[in-house]
Chain A
Amino acid sequence: MENKLNTSKTKSQAKESRFWRRFKKNKLAIFGAAIIIFIILTAIFAPLLAPYDPAFQNYDKLLEPPSFEHPFGTDDLGRDLLSRVIYGSRYTLLVGIGVVIIVAVLGSILGFLAGYYGGKIDTIIMRMVDVMLAIPALVLALAIAGALGGGIWNVIIAIGAVGWTQFARLVRGEVLRIRESEYIQAARALGAGDFKIISKHIAPNMMAPVIVYITLYIPSAILWAASLSFLGLGVQPPYPEWGALIANGRSYISFAWWIATIPGFAIMLTVLGFNFLGDGLRDALDPKMAKNI
């Protein structure tokens, strides 16, 4: 147990180092973090890493199988698939980050309002969540993306608009739990206002579950965005988004398997990375949540 005389600063430092100790022990989590760093670096340095211009069409080399010259082969227009997959990482990360920002902002605001103020506000927001959950998220995202038209920003908006519900529930639950605790009552008794209670006392205490949820939500956002693009309602060709690459390769799958299969491995690797990292963060931040899953 920590010494009760410790200042809050050293307490939080102790918490931090405990987190790192636990996190570092988890090999899968470190592996996941390494995958994500690798993907981020690929996205940033795409122009340096890609051997060819991803849009360059070489009509002498249509549908070439993987070779030394084109490690991932070429597509129906003679474009180098490796270069396209490398550039595609940018779309995937952008979608992951964009969606999470929308989900976190919308979900936090609505979850806070519902949990902190309760009453009618809570009822209205939670009924809204119930209604949204009755429509499969992917179906709703498809319909919204279709109504807005394609393009990466509309994909982000569509997925963000349907994804906030579970997050709002999580935030609400946490706020309810913390709101009733004694130190919040003490703060209120000392005359702290709503803003101070929320920003100083409630928000910091719910960071752990929020961070875990967000990390584990990114893979879903990535999979949905890829699905939307695959169905032709997301990022449109010629942009080398991974889902769109697979959709394009689908027509050639019987004689040029590489176009549809290789970008799928890229999606899977990214999603695996976030899943490993999220699991590791959960175990390290809150051992009680870890259990045996």
Chain B
Amino acid sequence: MLQYILRRTLYIIPILLGVTIIVFSLMHISGDPVKLIYGTNLTEEMLQEKRHELGLDQPIYSQYFNWVSSAAVGDLGVSIRTHANVWDMIRSRIGATLELTIIALFITLLVSIPAGIISAVKRYTVFDQIARIFALFWVSMPYFWLGLILMLIFSINLNILPVSGRGGPLWTWEGLKYIILPSLTLGLPPAALFMRIIRSNMLEIINEDYVRTARSKGLREYNVVIKHAFRNALISVVTLLGLRIPWLFGGAVITETVFAWPGMGRLLVDSIMKRDYPVVQGVVLIIAILVVLSNIIVDFAYAYLDPRIRYD
């Protein structure tokens, strides 16, 4: 087991190196950053001086090497616009993003697991049909539009929740009320997908021999469904979770922009707009690291849940 964890963790290194190449080349397809910032206001000599100052006059591979070697020790450079330290900018926002994504994930599971189980157990009933139609609509909605609709209903018309921003700590109503709409926006659309997967897996499992055996032993229906069937369906939920984690962070970018949630996603969009490429590189890199780490956690959960998976 220890060896498996070690090997799985070491596998991050080549992936992250690949990510740094993509992230680095990204900003070099946009043209000369110095010209983009200072435009026509400066003479050619002054531009050259700025380039030298930012290290942009060096050959591309040494620029890459410099960037990666500083990033490896946590130095992501400074913003071209504000000259603030990029890591400090990200650090002050990472908490908000994690808070939003974790609560959204919680909502996804909280809605999809019971709905998926009930849909499978009560197959072809009114509940199943309604859940199916709802699911089809949810997956077809753009996040940002769902966010605006929720905002229109609960903040503008009913006036019970704040329009945007982030409040205090989550254990107080002052803080909690700010996260309700953003986390629903981010958590509900994937719930539809999870529900359908859980339903189809449960249907398959319910017809398996061991479930029939459990029933014939006289176990209560609740025990059969939850302990025997759902525990096995959980494996597919974990698989899907691993696939959806990048989407969660992608969706967070949009949700944060709609609700002015002060996380990394908004920082990313703002920096892309301002062509502040050290910040863009930093945020994309940190998001990729978060995705890779979450995938590792999912892999471990998977190995724990499914005894058939060997660690060697």
Contact = CB atoms under 8 A, between A and B. Distances in A.
Interface of A: 127-128, 130-140, 142-144, 146-149, 219, 223, 226-227, 230-233, 243, 246, 250, 253-254, 257, 260-261, 264, 267-268, 271-272, 275-276, 291-293
A292 B199 contact: yes
Nearest to B252: A136
Contacts of A128: 18
A135 B291 contact: yes
A-side binding surface: helix, strand, loop or mixed? Answer: helix
B141 A139 contact: no
B254 to A, nearest CB: 5
Interface stretch (B22-30, B50-58, B223-231): B22-30
Interface stretch (B75-83, B170-178, B269-277): B269-277
B144 A133 contact: no
B292 A275 contact: no
B272 A272 contact: no
Contact of A142 (B19, B196, B268): B268
Contacts of B15: 130-131, 134
Given A146-B275, A275-B139, A136 B254 contact: no
A45 B255 CA distance: 35
A253 B142 contact: no
Contacts of A227: 142-144, 254
B137 A143 contact: no
User: What interface size band does chain B fall in?
Assistant: 35 or more
Interface in B14-64: 14-16, 18-19, 21-23, 26-27, 29-30
A246 B145 contact: yes
Contacts of B280: 143, 146
B287 interface: yes
Interface stretch (B102-110, B148-156, B210-218, B304-312): B148-156
A291 B16 CA distance: 37
6 contacts: A138-B254, A139-B284, A143-B284, A231-B269, A246-B142, A261-B152
A136 B156 contact: no
Interface of B: 14-16, 18-19, 21-23, 26-27, 29-30, 136-137, 139-145, 148-149, 151-152, 156, 196-197, 199-200, 203-204, 246-251, 253-254, 257-258, 268-269, 272-273, 275, 280, 284, 287-288, 291-292, 295
A231 B254 contact: yes
Q: Identify the 3 closest CB pairs spanning chains A and B, nearest first.
A: A131-B18, A138-B250, A146-B272
Contacts of A243: 142, 144
Contact of B145 (A132, A219, A233, A264): A264
B148 A231 contact: no
Contact of B269 (A142, A261, A275): A142
A230 B203 CA distance: 39
Given A136-B247, A268-B145, 8 more contacts: A133-B246, A134-B246, A135-B22, A146-B272, A148-B30, A226-B144, A231-B257, A257-B152
A130 B250 contact: no
A272 B136 contact: yes
A142 B267 CA distance: 13
Given A130-B15, A275-B139, A137 B148 contact: no
A293 B139 CA distance: 14
B140 A275 contact: yes
A132 B268 contact: no
A205 to B, nearest CB: 26
B268 A135 contact: no
Contacts of B151: 253
Contacts of A253: 148, 151-152, 156
Contacts of A146: 30, 272-273, 275, 280
A242 to B, nearest CB: 9
A77 to B, nearest CB: 20
A140 B251 contact: no
Nearest to B201: A292
A136 B152 contact: no
A24 B125 CA distance: 24
A197 B143 CA distance: 44
Contacts of A268: 137, 140-142, 145
Nearest to B28: A147
Contact of B272 (A233, A250, A261, A275): A233
A149 B272 CA distance: 10
A233 B253 CA distance: 13
